[in-house]
Structure 1
Amino acid sequence: MASLKDISKICGVSVATVSKALNDHKDIGEETKANIRRVAKEMGYSPNLSARALKTNRTYGIGVLFVDEAQSGLTHDYFSSVLDSFKRTAEKSGYDITFINSCKNRSDRMSYLEHSRYRGFDGVVLACIDFADPEVIELVQSSIPVVTIDYLFNNRIAIMSDNVAGMKELLEYIYSRGHRKIAYIHGAMSAVTSGRLSSFYRTAERLGLQIPDEYIREAAYRDTTTTYRVTNELLDLPDPPTCIIYPDDFASFGGINAIRERGLQIPEDISVAGYDGIQSARQLEPRLTTVQQDTEQIGCLAARELISLIERPKTTIIEQVIVPGKVVEGKSVAQIPTDK
């Protein structure tokens, strides 16, 4: 196997220059870097990871803790997109990604913290997990660098989609289309849900909307069975809403099925809106109006912040990073006449 010394002889530079070039140091010219990398590749050079770990006191491994209530795994459109961006960003910086064992049915399983230490992870990202789980809290309170996505812990970096602004802009859009009877089926209570629900009520109050208690319902995220049932309950009210906002795009599929089974048309008879901006919802007819979250930016920032925390712990600021989304106007919210 080729060594740094072998590469230095071919390139006519020092071993130190080869090492710096392969580690993308800024004091080496781009042309020199490109030549050294080309020669290293041609010679089949690969770094000795054990030696690298000893030298840097890092394994260049990052753990991912991801478990959603619906057990949808990486078919979860929103988080799979976030984690894909996270993975690509981390790998560009030379880190490998490994999922932390979350199967609690195994008799020989380790806790999240034990698994992280066993694997020697330099850091861990937490997404779509039960943040109240004692094992999660144990991991968060450990010395391992941690970044959370869509959840805020004290003294931990969090990457958050701007749920407050997202719901505000969505409700304002629906209001601008003439709707005054607007129902909201929110997700199970969490930091995300709390932000959206408070923003919904605050925006409704500012707009002068009266929101009856029966217009506010709950269904777990991605739970099409419950949104199917709750949609029917809303439509059976003596004074039903003209528009229903769903917890997320995927959950809206259950509500849309309930509406269509009644022979009702969207948006002519009832309007609907989602949240997330997932790819599959873009294929619906009529196209779903939704809040598109910037999954690319959320994943990228989570990786950058975690790597910064790993490599520069003394200078990395522990903060909450808010990532804005945007309302994507589809064809599922009708324009209706209004006196206001």
Structure 2
Amino acid sequence: MATIKDIAKIAGVSVTTVSKVINEYPDIGEKTREKVIKVIEQENYRPNAIARSLSTNRSNTIGIFFTDHLNSGLRHPFFRDVIYGIEKVFFQKGYDLVMFAHRWGDRFSYTEKSKNRNVDGAILMGMPRTDPNIDRLINSNIPTVFVDLDIVGKKASYVISDNVQGAKIAVEHLYNLGHREIGMIMGQWITKAAQDRLIGFQQKKDELKLDNNNKWIIETEFSEKGGFQAMKKILSLDEKPTAVFCQGDEMAIGAMAAIEEEGFSVPDDFSLVGFDDIEISRYVRPALTTVHQDKLLMGEKTAELLLDIINEQKSFFPIVLPTKLIKRDSCKAID
């Protein structure tokens, strides 16, 4: 099996140069880099991870933390797609991923876990802003990127969808169909996504001079069960909205089931709009109109941003990804 010395000898460069190419140092000329990479591929050379971590003070490992408050793990459609995008980028760069999961309320130190596993950087998804362990992580100088949580630090930034705008286009779509009584099923207030989607919902209703009836806003968990129970509460009201914006597709699917169980139908009696555009949303009947956020792109941008921080780029900025409306069959125009 070839060693790093063998690669250097065949390529006609120093061992230091080969090491820099392997670890993607920027101070190597492109021709030299290409020559070394060609020899590495020809000789099927694989650097020893332990030796490499000792020489570079890097483990080529990334820690991914996600809040599993629904006990769904990687089956959760949002987490699954974002993580796939993350893995896609890091695989190409030779990094391994370590997954950590916890539930809200657990005593859990992101900093200690990161240090114990010697990760080069951390990605946090689904964490509430109120989590007391976040500040400690930020102050630890461990390179960190947050998904759906707008926190920045010396070595921290975030990637998020434009949730405010996404909620606005959902309300505007319903308004254009003639709906004036619009309710909302929202996620837990302590999440950034729920807060921003509520802000967008209320801002657009104010712009359109629609009544912000708080009885039509039900807070619940981001799940089918949560959507089902919330819609049941809305259906029990004497005065009901004609349309409901659900802050998540799973909520909308649960709401659809509640509507049908009570003898009503979508969209004849109630129009529904979801958020996320998870895969199942196009296959339920009626197919769900929803606000699309590009979860794969979110994962890719998260990985790229974290690599910039790890490699000490002079500047790195938060990334806000656009959303767009996907029109399907769960909404109907009314007079």
Confirm or deny a common fold (TM above 0.5): yes
Give the superposition deviation at 1:22.
4.7
Give the superposition deviation at 1:104.
10
Check the 8 A contact 1:204/1:210 in 2, yes or no.
yes
Q: 1:207 to 1:102 in 2, by over 3 A?
A: closer
1:112 equivalent in structure 2: 110
Give the superposition deviation at 1:52.
1.8
Q: 1:19 to 1:320 in 2, by over 3 A?
A: closer
Instruction: Give, in whole Å, the separation in 2 of the partners of 1:123 and 1:185.
Output: 35
Which has the higher mean CA deviation after the structures are superposed, 145-154 or 32-41?
Answer: 32-41
2:278 equivalent in structure 1: 278
Percent of counterpart pairs with the same letter?
A: 32
Instruction: Give, in whole Å, the separation in 1 of the partners of 2:202 and 2:166.
Output: 13
Q: Unaligned stretches of 5+ in structure 1? A: none
Which runs of structure 2 are paired with 1:189-338 in the superposition (5 Å)?
Answer: 189=189, 190-222=191-223, 224-312=224-312, 315-317=314-316, 319-337=317-335
SS at match of 2:225: helix
Instruction: Give, in whole Å, the separation in 1 of the partners of 2:117 and 2:20.
Output: 27
SS at match of 1:211: coil
1:14 equivalent in structure 2: 13
Q: 1:240 to 1:110 in 2, by over 3 A?
A: closer
Check the 8 A contact 1:186/1:247 in 2, yes or no.
yes
Choose the corresponding residue for 2:31, options 25, 28, 32. 28
SS at match of 1:114: helix
1:39 equivalent in structure 2: 42
Check the 8 A contact 2:146/2:157 in 1, yes or no.
yes
| Aligned partner letter, 1:61 | T
1:97 equivalent in structure 2: 97
Q: Unaligned stretches of 5+ in structure 2? A: none
Check the 8 A contact 1:158/1:321 in 2, yes or no.
yes
Instruction: Give, in whole Å, the separation in 2 of the partners of 1:72 and 1:66.
Output: 11
Instruction: Give, in whole Å, the separation in 2 of the partners of 1:250 and 1:60.
Output: 35
Give the superposition deviation at 1:177.
1.2
Which runs of structure 2 are paired with 1:58-69 in the superposition (5 Å)?
Answer: 58-69=58-69
Give the superposition deviation at 1:204.
0.7
Equivalenced residue count is: 328
Q: Which digits, 9 at most, give the CA deviation of each residue in 1:64-122, with x for residues without a partner?
A: 1112321211111012111110111122222211123648999xx98332221111111
1:160 equivalent in structure 2: 160
| Aligned partner letter, 2:171 | L
Give the superposition deviation at 1:307.
1.2
| Aligned partner letter, 2:323 | G
1:132 equivalent in structure 2: 130
SS at match of 2:160: strand
Instruction: Give, in whole Å, the separation in 2 of the partners of 1:267 and 1:101.
Output: 38
Instruction: Give, in whole Å, the separation in 2 of the partners of 1:102 and 1:209.
Output: 40
SS at match of 1:185: strand
SS at match of 2:30: coil
| Aligned partner letter, 2:88 | R
Which has the higher mean CA deviation after the structures are superposed, 162-171 or 186-195?
Answer: 186-195
Give the superposition deviation at 1:29.
6.6
Check the 8 A contact 2:178/2:333 in 1, yes or no.
yes
2:178 equivalent in structure 1: 178
SS at match of 1:292: strand
Q: 1:54 to 1:209 in 2, by over 3 A?
A: same
Q: 1:226 to 1:52 in 2, by over 3 A?
A: closer
Q: 1:54 to 1:136 in 2, by over 3 A?
A: same
Instruction: Give, in whole Å, the separation in 1 of the partners of 2:115 and 2:104.
Output: 18
Q: 1:138 to 1:20 in 2, by over 3 A?
A: closer
Give the superposition deviation at 1:15.
4.6
RMSD of Structure 2 on Structure 1 (CA): 2.5
TM-score using structure 1 length = 0.88
Which has the higher mean CA deviation after the structures are superposed, 171-180 or 48-57?
Answer: 48-57
SS at match of 2:171: helix
Check the 8 A contact 2:289/2:329 in 1, yes or no.
yes
Q: Which digits, 9 at most, give the CA deviation of each residue in 1:284-328, with x for residues without a partner?
A: 111100011111221111111111111115x133x3321111111
TM-score using structure 2 length = 0.89
Q: 1:266 to 1:65 in 2, by over 3 A?
A: same
| Aligned partner letter, 1:238 | D
